[in-house]
């Protein structure tokens, strides 16, 4: 009887999580459409050459009709946008002369995943371990050093770290490239091309990873510091368990609950990318595409990118909720 009730509760919880995720995605898509309609500027004028070109009213009207900009914003344009989005059609770019938005995003996505994904991997590996150790040995010299450095990194904007790294290691010392993903003349597919790509990755990855390490250390240390004071830890110590046994059997799993939330939320940003850092390093990823689309008032591209960002965060939250149920049986019930 208990098993049936528990299983039914878990199923209802999963269904509720999925329903909330679907509703959230619908709201994100609708707000995403409305947001970029308040940006100053007329995309029809851009398509005809911008302000420097003399454009007649008839030409402007023809462009608006061609792109559907003359139709009522609500419900016509909104309904068409939501219907096309559900079918996987994000529309066509204004700036890139009618290219599919989905194709533009897919072209830039691998560079962003390489940058932010590698930074996330390094940050999770280093930050979580350092944070858990500092919390387990709280009050010691290592704890003070790690916590102080992490707070400084956590409060420093990643784009400022990126500019500092460029000034030191690219401009002053000349050790590493600080612009783009490849050097001029690099032959795609060769070993030299791969090594050149990795050298261009070092500085932007470092800029993103340093900020993320600060986040992981702060959260992991706080979680571990709370766990070591719990009653069950005192009981485990009274039973004669060693420090290693207490850490692995009791402390680690419970301390990982808030850390898992942070990891999954940050993994959502792997898809969307670090826009400011990519702008600093002229990295040819989603961030660079976002800046280009903003400057050009390219609504379809901006909508596609921000929908991608919203969807990745919603999916990350969904994964965090499901992971909580695995790590903590009380949540499943």
Structure tokens at 215: 């986040």
- Which parts of the chain sit beneath pLDDT 50? 1-4
Residue 92: in which H helix or E strand, if any?
none
Coil, helix or strand for 100? strand
Q: What is the pTM of this model?
A: 0.74
CA distance 188 to 194: 8
**Mean pLDDT of the residues in the chain:** 78
Assigned token pair, 192: 């030299």
Q: Please answer whether residues 17 and 322 qualify as being in contact, where contact means their C-beta atoms are separated by less than 8 angstroms.
A: yes
- Are 298 and 100 in contact by the 8 Å Cβ rule? The answer is no
Structure tokens belonging to residue 93? 């770019």
ω into 75 cis (within 30 of 0): yes
Query: Which of these, 167, 162, 154, lies nearest to 116 by C-alpha position?
Result: 162
- Burial profile 15-30: b = 16 or more Cβ within 10 angstroms, e = fewer: eebeeebeebbeebbe
The pLDDT assigned to 2 comes to 42
DSSP state of 187: P
In the chain, alpha helices (H): 2-35, 43-47, 57-67, 78-86, 101-123, 129-136, 141-154, 158-165, 191-227, 231-238, 243-246, 252-272, 275-281, 286-296, 299-327, 329-332
Q: What are phi and psi of 120, to 5 degrees?
A: -65, -45
Alpha-carbon gap, residue 57 to 190, rounded angstroms: 52
How buried is 128 (Cβ within 10 angstroms: 0-12 exposed, 13-18 middle, 19+ buried)? buried
Q: What are phi and psi of 92, to 5 degrees?
A: -125, 145
Q: What is the structure's pLDDT at 122?
A: 92
Rounded CA separation 54/222 (Å): 62
At residue 245, the pLDDT reads 64
């Amino acid at each position: 009887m208990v098993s049936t009730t528990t299983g039914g509760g878990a199923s209802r919880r999963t269904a509720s999580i999925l329903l909330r995720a679907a509703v959230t995605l619908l709201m994100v898509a609708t707000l995403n459409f409305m947001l970029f309609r308040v940006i100053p500027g007329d995309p029809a004028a851009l398509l005809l050459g911008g302000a420097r070109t003399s454009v007649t009213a008839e030409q402007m009207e023809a462009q608006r009709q061609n792109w559907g900009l003359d139709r009522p914003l609500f419900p016509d344009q909104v309904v068409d946008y939501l219907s096309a989005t559900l079918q996987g059609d994000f529309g066509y770019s204004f700036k890139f002369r009618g290219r599919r938005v989905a194709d533009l995003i897919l072209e830039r996505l691998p560079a962003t995943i390489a940058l932010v994904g590698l930074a996330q991997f390094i940050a999770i590996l280093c930050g979580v371990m350092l944070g858990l150790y500092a919390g387990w040995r709280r009050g010691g010299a290592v704890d003070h050093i790690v916590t102080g450095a992490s707070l400084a990194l956590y409060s420093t904007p990643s784009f400022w770290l990126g500019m500092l790294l460029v000034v030191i290691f690219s401009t002053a010392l000349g050790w590493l490239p600080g612009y783009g993903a490849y050097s001029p003349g690099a032959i795609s597919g060769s070993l030299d091309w791969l090594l050149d790509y990795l050298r261009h990755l070092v500085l932007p990855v470092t800029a993103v990873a340093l900020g993320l390490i600060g986040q992981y250390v702060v959260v992991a240390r706080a979680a571990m510091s709370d766990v070591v004071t719990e009653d069950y830890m005192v009981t485990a110590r009274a039973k004669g368990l060693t420090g290693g046994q207490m850490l692995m059997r009791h402390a680690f799993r419970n301390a990982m609950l808030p850390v898992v939330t942070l990891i999954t939320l940050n993994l959502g940003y792997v898809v969307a990318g670090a826009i400011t850092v990519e702008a600093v390093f002229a990295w040819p990823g989603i961030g660079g595409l976002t800046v280009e689309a903003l400057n050009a008032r390219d609504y379809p591209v901006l909508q596609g990118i921000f929908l991608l960002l919203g969807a990745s965060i919603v999916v990350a939250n969904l994964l965090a909720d499901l992971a909580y149920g695995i790590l903590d049986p009380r949540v499943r019930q």
